[in-house]
Structure 1
Amino acid sequence: MTDQYFLLVCDDVPHDVVLTDPGIRVLDVAQVVRRLTGLSLWRSKVLATHVPAMILDGVPEEDAEAAVTALRAVGAQAEARQQPEPDFLKS
C-alpha cells in the first residue's frame, strides 16, 4: 500500500512573524512581544535581543500583519513570512 497525501486548499496560509531588528527601544519591543506571545517580560526581552527571532508561528495572515504593525509602531523591524510548502508536496 502506498502513502497518499492530500493538500487541503484553504483561504488562509499560515504565516510566521519574524523580528529582524529591535531598534533602540528594546524594552518597548519586549513589552509588545510579551503582549503578543504571553511570555514573561524577561523572556520577551531575551527574545527581542536575539534576532532574528520568530515571534509567532503559524498564525493567520491578518494576525501576522497586526503583529508586524504593532512591532513597527514601537520602532522594531519585523516581517510576516508565509510558511514554506512541505517537502512532500514539491515535485
Structure 2
Amino acid sequence: MSEIAGRLNITERTLRRRLAQSGISFRQLLDQVREQRARELLSQPHRQRIIDIAAELGFSDGREFRRAFKRWTGHTPQAMG
C-alpha cells in the first residue's frame, strides 16, 4: 500500500481514506486488479506457466495463486485455457 500511495504522491492514510469513501478496501482493489491481469495472461495464445503468472501477480507460489483464482472466479486457472 505504501508503494502505491507513494506513486500517487499521497500518504497511506489519504489512500485508505479515499478508498473507504469509495466503499472499497485496498485488499479488494488489489484482488480486482490481480484477477483482471490473471485473466489477460491466461487468455494469451502462448500463455506463461502458472508459476510465472503467480510470480508476476505477486503471489509467493502457484498454489496460492490457484486458490485465489478459484475464490475469484469459481474456476481453476487451468480451466480458463
Tell me the TM-score normalised to structure 1 length: 0.27
Larger Cα Rg: Structure 1 or Structure 2? 1
Q: Which has the higher strand share?
A: 1
TM-score computed with the length of structure 2 as normaliser: 0.29
Greater relative contact order, per chain length (Cα 8 Å cut-off, separation 6+): 1
